[in-house]
Amino acid sequence: MQATQTTQTTQTTPAGETYDQTVNTFSTLQDQLVDMAEGFVRAVPGLVIALFILLLTWIIAKFAVRIADRLTAGTEIRPSLKQLIDTIVRLAIWIVGLMIALIVVMPGMTPASLLAGLGIGAVAIGFAFQDIFENFLAGVLIMVREKMRIGDVIECEGITGKVEHITLRETHVRKLSGELSVVPNSILFKNPVEIFTDKEQRRHEVVVGVSYDTQLDHAADVIRRAVEGLDDVLASKGVDIFAQEFNSSSVDFLVRWWAGSTPRDGWESKDKVVRAIKAALDNAGIEIPFPYVTHTFKEAVPVGQLGDTDRKTP
């Protein structure tokens, strides 16, 4: 026989009578465990059905992502945007599957209460992770718009480099000197971004100075022929030669031409343009002056005194 632990207590009634009350603590605990076991047994069918729903959700999400990939395969959507579409499709299916599974396990729960709970939770999470969601939404909008593709050279907030990867939270920009900058998407979305490689060609420029005794029309013609004769210059789009400024020692020309849009193309074409202009002006006998310094004296200074001063100067 199984022994049970009992506790005997004596209580007095208002009329003065006494009686004994035996409390079987083990029996009470046993009853509670039995109730919990019975509740678990009653919940087993619901749990099995919920697990089956989750498995079915996983299968449906997998096939839905494949269908989305096939629909976007023939389009020109960037890979990062395709990844975003797959994530949204998978997330939407899993949210619906989890809601159905919770309703099966807890019949008292309704779709309206789940949606209300999700709404309150979303607001709380939104305030807690404001910066993260800001970068997420900025990443979505950057992926949707057509500009700033992978491989473009951009400049934003002092960062200049090539776009290597765009995610939902950040963009990887490889600087021209080799360093990698991880830029939050909100910075690229809220600030002006200069895209150097949006087109295959862009305009470059350099300033050339000639001496004041030069015939300017002749100098401009010499510069034009030198620039238009280069292979890297798109002469079909025109070469601009503008007399721009009376400088301290020269008259300056602004020379503009079209070439490749990448920084490397710009540096190479500028190197060839400067070399060609220097050689052409030298052959034409046109001086590219050094900075001149002119001393002006209020009173006449004897030449001999100037010579003595020069000799005394160490």
Higher pLDDT pick, 165 / 259: 259
pTM: 0.58
User: Minimum mean pLDDT among 132-136, 188-192, 242-246, 249-253: which range?
Assistant: 132-136
pLDDT, tens digit, for every residue of 6-65? 444 444 545 444 444 444 666 776 667 666 766 666 667 777 888 888 888 888 888 888
Q: Measured between alpha carbons, how far is 208 from 281 in angstroms, rounded to an integer?
A: 10
For the stretch 155-163, contacts whose Cβ atoms lie closer than 8 Å and that sit 24 or more positions apart, written own/partner, are: 155/193, 155/194, 155/196, 156/183, 156/187, 156/188, 156/191, 156/192, 156/193, 156/194, 157/187, 157/191, 159/183
- What count of residues does the chain have? 314
Q: Give yes or no for residue 180 having a pLDDT over 80.
A: yes
Q: Which of 48-57, 122-131, 158-167, 239-248 has the lowest mean pLDDT?
A: 122-131
The pLDDT assigned to 78 comes to 67
Question: Given this model, what pLDDT does residue 169 score?
Answer: 81
pLDDT at site 112 = 64
CB 279 within 8 Å of CB 255:
no
**Per-residue pLDDT at 92:** 84
Phi-psi region of 154 (alpha: psi -120 to 50; beta: other; left: phi over 0): beta
With bands split at pLDDT 50, 70 and 90, how would you rate the model's confidence at 273?
Answer: very high
Q: Is the pLDDT of residue 140 over 80?
A: no
The larger pLDDT score, comparing residue 78 to residue 209, is at 209
DSSP of 43-105, one letter per residue?
HHHHHHHHHHHHHHHHHHHHHHHHHHHHHHHTS---HHHHHHHHHHHHHHHHHHHHHHHHHHH
Nearest to 259 by CA among 226, 241, 229, 237: 237
Across 211-230, average pLDDT: 93
217 pLDDT higher than 60: yes
pLDDT for 251 equals 94
Give me the half-sphere count of Cα atoms (radius 13 Å) on the Cβ side of residue 83: 10
Higher pLDDT, 75 or 228: 228
Assess contact for 279 and 223: CB atoms under 8 A: no
Which stretch, 28-42, 92-106, 206-220, has highest mean pLDDT?
206-220
pLDDT higher than threshold 60 for residue 305: no
pLDDT of 174 above 90? yes
pLDDT at 307: 53
The pLDDT confidence band at residue 271, using thresholds 50, 70 and 90, is very high
Q: Which residues contact 190 (CB under 8 A, 6 or more apart)?
A: 138
The reported pLDDT for the residue numbered 294 is 73
Position 2 confidence tier, pLDDT thresholds 50, 70, 90: very low
User: For residues 124 and 168, what is the distance between their CA atoms, to the nearest angstrom?
Assistant: 21
